[in-house]
Structures are given as structure tokens and as C-alpha cells.
């Protein structure tokens, strides 16, 4: 059986890509942020996962406001990046794993998640920046499966629904008949608001509460509505939904190996969280 070895949450601010392109990682502004990934690199080098499932939100590169699925799963041979207008280098394509994608899609639809299936899908900074942070350089050592959650156009899915989505994805991964080692990733957040009268809004207290609950009590976050999260974390802070889905996919006993919280990176409260998933201790296997 495939094994979910862990989950990672990380911010996906585009300016991170600019810092990487200009080799600014060790400058005073960026060092406290990039140093937060050293422990994650050590873990990934030791564990060497084969596949990463990425819960993220598209910001208009692949989907736009005219047609915006609530949940979309990639089922392509590879995923291309493209110029989004941030002035960032365009990344080389990311290898996919269509067979595992279809297994996830079949499991989700059987569990009454009527997802959009994407046999072609471009991926934006919310996918590419986290992969550059986790696996620096041009190498592509893992196959990838993008799962896009709408955090852009209301009505948004609820935290409870996103948690459940993650649970079903977790059950799908664990019923896959290979020896694959899989990491699940949730990107975006934490609190930030890019526009309107609250532009620049950050809520440290709420962020730290979420980072804490995500470890051992993720259900506590499922009692919020999407608008509660907008209020508490900002209109883009609702990207927390991607982290909640990631946590839902950890079906075993979860322990925190590392976290870093650093304010601000661009307009955003940045964070990274590394969770180990001990397979077999099926806390959430009631999903399905």
C-alpha cells in the first residue's frame, strides 16, 4: 500500500520566487523566512517521498472568475507553469502521475465529491513557489498531483467540507496498491488581505491558534464558516482552507516536527508547518 508519510503547510507569496531568482535567501529580510525550511529539507532528504499531492488555489492562471470549479483535480502527464505577470521566471513543467490522479478522482466521486477533472492544467505561484521552497533548484524529484480549491470567488467551500475532502483524498492514497511514499501539501495563508480598506491586515493570534489546532485538534477549525475566516484572517487568509484539506488527508497519528511563523513576507503572515503521519494509527479512517 502507498503510505502518507507527512503533511506540510507553507505560504506561497510570489515575492518568494523573486527572492529565489535573485539569490536573496541570506539577506536580512529573507533569512528568517528561508531558514524556516532547513528542517523540512533535512526531513525530505531523509524520507525521499515519491509523490506530492498539492492542495492549493488557482489565482486566475488556469481558472478565471467566469468558470471556477470549487474543487478541481489534475490528471495530466505534466503541469506547465506560465507567466502570471509577477515578473517571475517561468518554471519547467512538473511531472504528474495520471494513474494515481484517476484513483483519487474515482474515490472522490464515489464519496460524492463531484470534482472537476483536468487532463490539462497550468499551475500558478501557489503550486510552483511551495515546490521551489521544498525542493530548491530545477530538479523535479517528485511526481505531483494538483488539487485546486476555490478560495477566490464566493461562495467558498466550508472548512468542514475541505477537511472532509482531505479525508477522502487520504483514504484514496492509502488504498493505492503501490509502495509509494506520499507527502500532502497545503499552500497559502496565513492571514493576509491584499485589497480593500483592510489591505495589509494580519492576525497573529488567530494564525498561531490555527497552527496549534492543525496539529492535534483540526476539527476545531471546521466550526468556522468561510466568512468567519475572511473576518479573522483576511480575504486572502482564507487560503487556510488548503491547509485544512492537507490536514484532513493525514489519516494516522500526527506529530509536529517543525514550524516557523514570520511576519510579514510581502503582505502576508508567513508560516511553515511540518507534520509527520504515522500510518496505521488510523485516527480519521472513519472517512469514506
* Separation CA 202–CA 206 (nearest Å): 9
Stretch that binds ligand DHB, among 9-17, 26-34, 38-46, 198-206 (CB under 6 A): 9-17
Query: How far apart are CB 188 and ligand DHB at their closest, in Å?
Result: 5
Chain length of the chain = 288
The answer to whether the beta carbons of residues 145 and 73 sit under 8 Å apart is yes
Closest CB to ligand DHB among 12 and 143?
12
- Smallest distance from Fe ion to CB 239, Å: 5
Q: Which is nearer to ligand DHB, 237 or 252 (CB)?
A: 237
Alpha-carbon distance of 61 to 129, in angstroms, equals 14
Min separation Cβ 187 and Fe ion, Å:
8
The answer to whether residue 128 forms part of the interface with ligand DHB (CB under 6 A) is no
| φ, ψ at 48 (rounded to 5°) | 45, 65
Angle separating helix axes 240-248 and 204-216, nearest 10 degrees: 10
Residues 6 or more apart whose Cβ sits within 8 Å of residue 246: 7, 8, 9, 55, 166, 184, 185, 186
Candidate segments 156-164, 183-191, 210-218, 244-252, binder of Fe ion by CB under 5 A:
183-191
What is the smallest separation between the CB atom of 19 and ligand DHB, expressed in angstroms? Answer: 12
Catalytic sites, residue numbers: 125, 192
Footprint of ligand DHB (CB under 6 A): 12-15, 59, 188, 192, 194, 236, 239, 266-268
Footprint of Fe ion (CB under 5 A): 188
Amino acid at each position: 500500500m502507498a503510505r502518507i508519510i507527512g503533511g506540510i503547510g507553507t505560504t506561497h507569496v510570489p515575492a518568494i520566487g523573486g527572492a529565489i531568482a535573485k539569490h536573496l535567501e541570506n539577506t536580512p529580510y529573507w533569512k528568517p523566512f528561508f531558514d524556516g525550511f532547513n528542517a523540512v529539507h533535512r526531513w525530505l532528504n531523509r524520507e525521499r517521498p515519491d509523490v506530492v499531492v498539492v492542495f492549493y488555489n488557482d489565482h486566475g492562471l488556469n481558472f478565471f472568475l467566469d468558470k471556477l470549479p470549487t474543487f478541481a483535480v489534475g490528471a495530466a502527464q505534466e503541469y506547465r507553469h506560465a507567466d502570471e505577470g509577477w515578473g517571475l521566471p517561468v518554471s519547467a513543467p512538473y511531472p504528474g502521475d495520471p494513474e494515481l490522479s484517476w484513483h483519487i478522482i474515482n474515490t472522490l466521486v464515489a464519496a460524492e465529491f463531484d470534482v472537476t477533472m483536468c487532463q490539462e492544467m497550468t499551475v500558478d505561484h501557489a503550486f510552483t513557489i511551495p515546490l521551489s521552497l521544498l525542493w530548491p533548484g530545477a530538479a523535479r524529484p517528485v511526481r505531483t498531483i494538483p488539487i485546486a480549491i476555490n478560495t477566490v470567488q464566493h461562495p467558498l467551500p466550508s472548512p468542514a467540507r475541505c477537511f472532509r475532502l482531505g479525508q477522502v483524498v487520504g483514504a484514496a492514497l492509502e488504498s493505492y496498491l503501490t509502495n509509494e511514499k506520499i507527502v500532502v501539501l497545503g499552500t497559502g495563508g496565513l492571514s493576509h488581505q491584499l485589497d480593500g480598506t483592510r489591505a495589509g491586515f494580519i492576525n497573529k493570534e488567530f494564525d498561531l491558534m490555527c497552527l496549534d489546532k492543525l496539529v492535534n485538534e483540526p476539527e476545531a477549525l471546521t466550526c468556522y464558516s468561510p466568512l468567519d475566516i475572511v473576518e479573522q484572517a483576511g480575504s486572502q487568509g482564507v487560503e487556510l482552507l488548503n491547509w485544512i484539506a492537507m490536514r484532513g488527508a493525514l489519516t494516522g497519528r500526527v506529530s509536529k516536527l517543525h514550524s516557523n511563523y514570520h511576519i510579514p513576507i510581502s503582505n502576508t503572515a508567513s508560516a511553515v508547518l511540518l507534520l509527520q503521519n504515522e500510518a496505521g494509527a488510523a485516527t480519521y479512517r472513519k472517512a469514506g
